[in-house]
Amino acid sequence: MYAWPVSSRICQASGQWSIMESKTRWKYTKIYCKEMRCPNPDRFDNGEYFPRGPYKVGDNITFVCSDGYIPRGSMERTCKSNAKWSGETAVCDDGAGHCPDPGEPPGARKTGLRYDVDERVSYTCALGLDLVGSAKRTCLESRRWSGTEVSCQYPYAFDLPEDVGQQFAGSLSGLLNTYEKKAAVGRTVKIKKDGILNVYLLLDASESVGENNFDISKKSIEDLVNRLGSFDMIVQFGIMSYATETKVIINVHDKDSSDVDYVLEEIENKLIYNEHRNKQGTNIKGALTSVYNMMAFQKGQYKEDEWNSIQHVIILLTDGKSNMGGRPVDMINRIREFLDIKPTREDYLDIYAFGIGEEVDRSELNDIASKKDNEKHIFTLEDSEKIKAVFSEITKIENYGEMCGLNDESSSDRKLHHPWNVLINVSKENAGGTSPCFGSLISSQWILTAAHCFKGHTMDQYTFEIGSATYKAELRIIHKCYNIIRKANRGIKEDYDYDVALVKLTEKVEFSSSARPICLPCTEMANRAMKKPKTATCNDHRQHLLSSVSSIPAGFLAKSKDKKELEELKVEIQHNNAREDCISTIKKWDKFHNITNLQDMVSPRHLCVNGEMSCKGESGGSLFVDIRDRKRFFQVGILSFGIYNPCEKKTVRKPSSNARDFYVNVLEVLPFLRKHLEGELQFLPGIPDLEEIVCPA
């Protein structure tokens, strides 16, 4: 149900309610509640539909094509709670046109029946419905229609947050998939490795928004900035708030506009609602003029071919219609002309318009937003609270290309989290008491794990579970300095120095949300993830990941209570001055009293960790850090051994303040990794040759 008209009354000092007024300032004596309905199809060419309308929320409609026609779209649709139809426009196509039949959405009337190159169709909506999309579309040589599909909507029909998140994320995925030139949501990917994406965020601070709603939207764009900043390409931000006038917080051409920490700090301290006090009209054209000025200034900083390769995304958040400054569409046209946006360059500009609240002027936002086939750029939400749910979904991209260290948080299945983890098993008939191990996927065909995981078995006896698939291996490489019995004559039964191994799979892993690599330090992939310059060295990565601080927060993967899922447990790497005290805890355990020199047990290649401890069967797993909480994970350690098994004879992990785990420091075995992976991964300068490494006695 919805209220008609949308009205309000104020409790006056006299104790009486004011006259009821609608948002359009008409006075009413009574308010009505009407049942929400979805638009009726005006007609359905080359087929039939049933039942006939009207259609209430929850009603279904079925489309059936006549013989000889090809069904496309959704033949079964449901009237959703927001008075919009589920699925896509149903079409019965004869396949005769150069372009497919564009169909006729419910509530719309199409003019034009020819679908050859350069032919046009036009749309109008029934009385009382707002048209969103391209009123005129042209059949292109690419067999696609220009613009975007029409939707006819009632004024009370808002978008559902979950739909907005998916649609916006789907559109952005064509921008954020940075490595493969392939179709993604109807577009060809343009951004390359180290490409540049300009993101302009325009936040409405007009009087009708209110400070609370402004702050909600502000928090949402902070989340968006933080997430977009984690991707490999260079993302430069332009941030502004606008009302009667525009206040620029960050110019896209500022030297620090791609530094996420700087951008977030500026948003927190300078994006303030009260900055527009007493001047709180809605001048959208003025805000877009500021975007144009940024572009014009920035263009002079680049060579022509560099400038033409930059993609631009404008995200406008507003609660109402522009009431001053002129028509926003005029500035949109000027921006398109300045960027030379034509059919061959449509992918270089995306304009998203978010209308929030009851007074959204869909017609005006429709003029502003981009119109691209199979994409949606205009969204309307009932209130600012809904924007929270939307922006939490926006960057849950399905295809991240080859980007390393990304943990897809969009899945409710915890087994898909930390998709670099590998479960290493030995066939039961050959196990002979051997425990399973973990490893980490570091490229499409290579796994990094511990050397001690391979005890007397051939590679054909092992299986490697990654995501939902199981793989076999063709090659195993153990570090030349690994020798588990090296110190047996010194009372050290097992020596875990250089406890590292590489495994090459027989086939490549196809990257997905459940199977993708972790970032390996001192590689180009990790360098892009850190946003380091191309001139960065391996020492820069060392300082970034294992800095001068003594305690570094980290995580490792453990089997859950039922051993069917994985969970991330938190630990701290005791580094630099804290390392010696961390190691000395070993003496508190009776079983290690005979160890006179702890350096015999813990090598300089080991990281000492306290906190949650690992259990038997988790050796070889990754120790990882997430610098500045960017949701990009870098492997710094390989689980080698622990002095305490918290799961022994227990159904849950039993903590101990004196327990320690030791991980092989990945940065200390990079010569080994580079020697065997140089054709697979690109390594940074500053790594010694493996031949220069002298194995300990």
| Catalytic residue (choose from 377, 452, 575, 606) | 452
Distances (CA, A) of 151 to 50, 110, 129, 205: 20, 12, 9, 29
3-state class of 251 per DSSP? Answer: coil
Strands of the sheet containing 462-466, edge to edge, are 469-471, 462-466, 421-426, 437-441, 446-449, 501-505, 473-478
Phi, psi of 18 (to 5 degrees): -70, 170
Catalytic status, residue 575 = no
| Catalytic residue (choose from 208, 384, 619, 622) | 619
How many alpha carbons lie under 13 Å from residue 476 in its C-beta half-sphere?
Answer: 23
Radius of gyration of the chain (CA): 30
Give the DSSP letter string of 102-143: ----TTEEEE----STT-EEEEEE-TT-EEES-SEEEB-TTS
Structure tokens at 163: 């739909």
Report the C-alpha gap between 548 and 546 in whole angstroms.
Answer: 7
Task: Find the Cα–Cα–Cα–Cα dihedral 408, 413, 415, 417, rounded to 10°.
Answer: 20
Catalytic status, residue 540 = no
End-to-end distance of the chain based on CA atoms, in angstroms?
A: 81
Q: Are strands 76-78 and 27-28 parallel, antiparallel or unpaired?
A: unpaired
Element (H, E) at 502: strand 501-505
Given the structure tokens 């931000």, which residue do they identify?
237
Give the DSSP letter string of 275-327: GGTT-----HHHHHHHHHHHHHHHHTTS-HHHHHH-EEEEEEEESS---SSS-
Query: Per 3-state DSSP, what percentage of the chain is helix, strand, and coil (rounded to 5)?
Result: 25, 25, 50
| Catalytic residue (choose from 101, 204, 497, 499) | 499
The answer to whether the beta carbons of residues 521 and 635 sit under 8 Å apart is yes
Catalytic status, residue 418 = no
Which residues are annotated as catalytic? 452, 499, 619
